[in-house]
Amino acid sequence: MMRRLFLVLLFAARAFAASDLTGTVVDDKGKPLAGARVYVNGAFPKLGVSAVCPTCYRDCGKNEAADAKGAFRLRALDDLLVFDILAVADGYEPRFAQRVDPKRGMVTIELPIRRTGQYVINGIVVDPAGKPVLGAIVDATGVHSITNAKGEFALFIPVAKLDVRITARTFAPRFERQLTPNEKRTIKLSTGATIVGRLMRADQPVSGAKIEFRQTDRNPSHDLGPASIGTNDNGYFFMTYLAPNEEYAVHATLPDGVVDPKIVRTEEEGSSSEAGTLNVGTGREIAGRVVLPPTTSLAAGSQITVTGDLTGITRTVTLPPDATFAFASMPNEPAHLTFTLPGVRVASVWNGGRPLPLTGNAAVLPAEGDVAGVRVVGE
C-alpha cells in the first residue's frame, strides 16, 4: 500500500509527452516470429537519476503481440525515458533489447531457438501466489537464461550442479542452490522489503542524488548485486524490492560531497526499514608515503589503491618520485590499501606508531577519522 501511494503521488506531479515504439521480432535466421509477445520490462531517465525504481514506471508491463510479419508497436511511452524491452516466443529463448529510445526509430529483437539436452537445467519461476513470472533473469557464472510467459527457464551447463541468482521485475532477487539437470525446480519469488530515508546537506534536502544499496556480505555465493534509486525533490528515497532479512550498506554518490554509509537491515517480506537521515559531509583524508630500502628506487607505475569495504568506492594514485600519496574526501567506513610496487615487497604498514593489519597485499585501515600518517615499509 505504501509503495502504491508513493508512485501515485509521484506520477500525478507531472504531465507526459509520449511516443510509440515500433520494431520486429525475428529468429536467428532473420525469419519473422508471428505471435511473439513484447513487453516493457524497465525504464530509465534519459537525464539524471530517478526517485522511481526502474520497474515501477507506469509504462512498465505494457505489452503487445507481434503480427504476421513479426512487427509490434508499444504505444505512448514516456519521451523522458529509455526502456528495456523483452521479447518472448514459444520454443525460443527470450531476449532483451536494452535502453531503447522510441524516438530513435525501430528496434529488431532476435530470438535463438531454445536448446534441449542432458546438460540443460530446466525450472519455473513463480510469484508468491504461484503464478509464472515472465522475464526473470536466471543467472550463474558464465551462463544465464530468461523466463518465458510460462515462467520457464533453461540453462545449458557442463556441470552436475549449479547455484543461480534470480532477478525479476517487481520482485526481490534471490539465490536458488544446487540445481541439477534431472530436476525441474519451481522457484518462488517474494515482493521483498523496503528501505526509506532522506539525504540532507546543512539541514537542506538534497534532490536528484543517487542512493546505493549494497549487501555487507558480498561473498560471490551470497551477493545479490547492488541496487540504486534517486532522491526526490525533498531529499527522500524509497527503495523497494530488496532482499528480506539482509544487511545493506546505504550510501550516496555525489560529485561534491561525501556521505558515510549507514548499515540497515531489512526485515521480513513486505516490511519497511528506516535508514534515517544521511548527511553530506567532507569525509576524511588517507595519506602517507612508501619507505624503500636505501638501495631500492621507486619503479615507474608504482601505485596505491584505497577501497571502501562497504561502499566499494575505489581510488588509485600513481606514486610521484617522493613516494607520497593522499586520498581526500573518503567516507568513514572500513577500508583497505592495496599496493602495486614492482620489485618491492611490503613488509609492514604503520599508522603513526601503530602497525596496521596486513593481509597479503592489503593493509586494513581504521574505520573512522583521518589516517594521515601511513607509512608503507618495503623491502
Domain boundaries defined on the chain: 16-111, 120-188, 193-281, 284-378
Mean pLDDT in the chain?
Answer: 91
Least confident interval from 12-16, 107-111, 324-328: 12-16
pLDDT at residue 364 above 90? yes
Asked if 245 contacts 171 with a C-beta cutoff of 8 angstroms, the reply is no
**CA-wise closest residue to 78 among 98, 62, 95:** 62
Domains 16-111 and 120-188 share a fold: no
260 near 281, Cβ under 8 Å?
yes
Q: Is the pLDDT of residue 5 over 70?
A: no
Average pLDDT in the 354-377 region? 93
Q: Which three cell numbers, joined as nine digits, stand for 290?
A: 612508501
* pLDDT, position 109: 97
- State the pLDDT at residue 255: 86
Name 88's bridge partners.
Answer: 37
Superfamily the domain 284-378 falls into: Immunoglobulins (2.60.40.10)
Query: In the chain, where does DSSP find H-type helix?
Result: 2-11
Which of the 8 DSSP states describes residue 324? E
Topology at the third CATH level for domain 16-111: Protocatechuate 3,4-Dioxygenase, subunit A (2.60.130)
How far apart are alpha carbons 257 and 255 in whole angstroms? 6
Span 214-218, average pLDDT: 93
Q: Judge whether residue 11 has pLDDT over 60.
A: no
Give the closest residue to 145 by CA, choosing from 115, 184, 170, 174. Answer: 115
The yes-or-no verdict on residue 311 having pLDDT over 70 is yes
**pLDDT of the residue at 6:** 52
| Residue 7 reports pLDDT greater than 90 | no
CA–CA separation, 336 vs 313, rounded Å?
A: 11
- Alpha carbon distances (Å) from 352 to 55, 288, 322: 50, 10, 19
- Answer positive or negative: Cα dihedral of 212, 215, 216, 222: negative
pLDDT above 70 for 15:
no
DSSP letter assigned to residue 260: -
For domain 193-281, say whether CATH 2.60.40.1120 is its number: yes
Whether the Cβ atoms of residue 20 and residue 64 lie closer than 8 Å to each other: no
Bridge partners of residue 377, in order along the sequence: 291, 348
Q: How many CA atoms lie within 13 A of 39 on its CB side?
A: 20
**pTM for this prediction:** 0.84
Q: Reading across the β-sheet that carries 284-291, which strands appear in turn?
A: 324-330, 284-291, 371-378, 346-351, 354-355
Which residues, in sequence order, are CB contacts of 2 under 8 Å at separation 6+? 194, 272
pLDDT of residue 212: 95
pLDDT confidence of residue 249: 97
- Condensed to tens digits (0 to 9), the pLDDT of residues 124-153 reads 999 999 999 999 999 987 788 999 889 999
The 10s digit of each residue's pLDDT in 19-69 is 999 999 999 999 999 999 999 999 999 998 888 888 888 999 999 999 999
At residue 211 the predicted structure's pLDDT band, cuts being 50, 70 and 90, is: very high
| CATH no. of 120-188 | 2.60.40.1120
Residues pairing with 19 in the sheet: 77
Which grid cell is 219? 561473498
**In the structure, what pLDDT confidence band is assigned to residue 3 with cuts at 50, 70 and 90?**
low
pLDDT at 119: 74
Region 169-187: what's the mean pLDDT? 91
Arithmetic mean of pLDDT, 265-270: 95
The stretch 231-260 carries a mean pLDDT of 94
